């Protein structure tokens, strides 16, 4: 990943037109949610959505507490570069995966950061997302960023990111990458092209000026 530019992942892809648009507008990675979700897709659908992508576009499988058999199927499909774990997976599962691993840590309060020490050695990357009640991710809301301003490790920032707050996030936190989803949608799984473009342009503009 680039050290001088925040990488951009657009998650919750469900239709081919959105995939094509995202690639053309300049995102670096696409997220496909395999876990139960309004944006859930299966492997056959991912194959259809990601057909003939240009080089260097990363494909991310998003899972929650996968069974070993499910994980093996994902790894052997040849469809993904990363697996993003959103459940209570044991660190050993992350360490053993043959793909690059991302561990999502959902944050509502400071005590949630105890998960950092649990996973920082086994995951290739940590991702910080918003936790509201039992819902982790896809909330469209941001968590209290001040909780992670002192962290001295590279990470991916998620949770309610969009055109209205992305510049503030980049300035305050300087994340390695950002993960955008619900704040750039018309409805779950259907991206709003104006909002996607505006958010991506603001990220790129920020780095050209800083």
> Positive or negative CA dihedral for 207, 202, 53, 140?
positive
Please tell me the distance from the alpha carbon of residue 27 to that of residue 197, in angstroms, as a whole number. Answer: 10
pLDDT confidence bin for 207, thresholds 50/70/90: confident
Q: What's the average model confidence in pLDDT over 11-40?
A: 97
pLDDT average, residue stretch 55-66: 96
Q: Taking the domains of the chain in order of start, what are their residue ranges?
A: 7-209
> pLDDT tens for residues 63-90?
999 999 999 999 999 999 999 999 999 9
Burial letters 150-171, b for 16+ CB under 10 A, else e: eeeeebbbbbbbbbebbbebbe
DSSP codes, 131-175:
EETTEES--S----GGGGTT--S-EEE-SS--TTTHHHHHHHH--
pLDDT in tens, 113-128: 999 999 999 999 999 9
145-176 pLDDT tens trace: 999 999 989 999 999 999 999 999 999 999 99
Candidate CATH numbers 2.40.30.10, 3.20.20.540, 3.20.20.70, 3.40.50.720; the one for domain 7-209: 3.20.20.70
Residue 137: pLDDT above 60?
no
List the catalytic residues.
11, 129
Q: Output the pLDDT for position 5.
A: 86
Please tell me the predicted confidence (pLDDT) of residue 86. 94
Separation of alpha carbons 144 and 126, rounded Å: 17
- pLDDT at position 209 is 78
Query: What are the structure tokens assigned to 7, written together?
Result: 């990488």
**What average pLDDT does the chain have?**
93
Q: In this prediction, what percent of the chain has a pLDDT beyond 70? A: 94
For residue 178, what are its two tokens? 């950002």
| Per-residue pLDDT at 144 | 93
């Amino acid at each position: 990943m680039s050290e001088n530019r925040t990488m951009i992942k657009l998650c919750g892809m469900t239709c081919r037109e959105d995939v094509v648009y995202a690639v053309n507008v300049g995102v670096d990675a696409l997220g496909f949610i395999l876990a139960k979700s309004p944006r859930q897709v299966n492997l056959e659908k991912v194959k259809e959505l990601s057909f003939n992508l240009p080089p260097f576009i990363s494909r991310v499988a998003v899972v929650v507490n996968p069974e070993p058999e499910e994980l093996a199927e994902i790894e052997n499909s040849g469809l993904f570069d990363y697996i993003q774990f959103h459940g209570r997976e044991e660190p050993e599962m992350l360490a053993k995966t043959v793909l690059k691993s991302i561990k999502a840590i959902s944050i509502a309060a400071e005590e949630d950061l105890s998960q950092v020490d649990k996973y920082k050695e086994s995951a290739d990357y940590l991702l910080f997302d918003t936790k509201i009640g039992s819902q982790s991710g896809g909330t469209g809301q941001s968590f209290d960023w001040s909780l992670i301003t002192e962290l001295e490790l590279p990470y991916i920032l998620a949770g309610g990111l969009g055109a209205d707050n992305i510049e503030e996030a980049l300035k305050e936190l300087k994340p390695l990458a950002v993960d955008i989803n619900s704040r750039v949608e018309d409805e779950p799984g259907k991206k709003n092209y104006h909002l996607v473009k505006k958010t991506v342009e603001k990220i790129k503009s920020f780095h050209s000026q800083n």
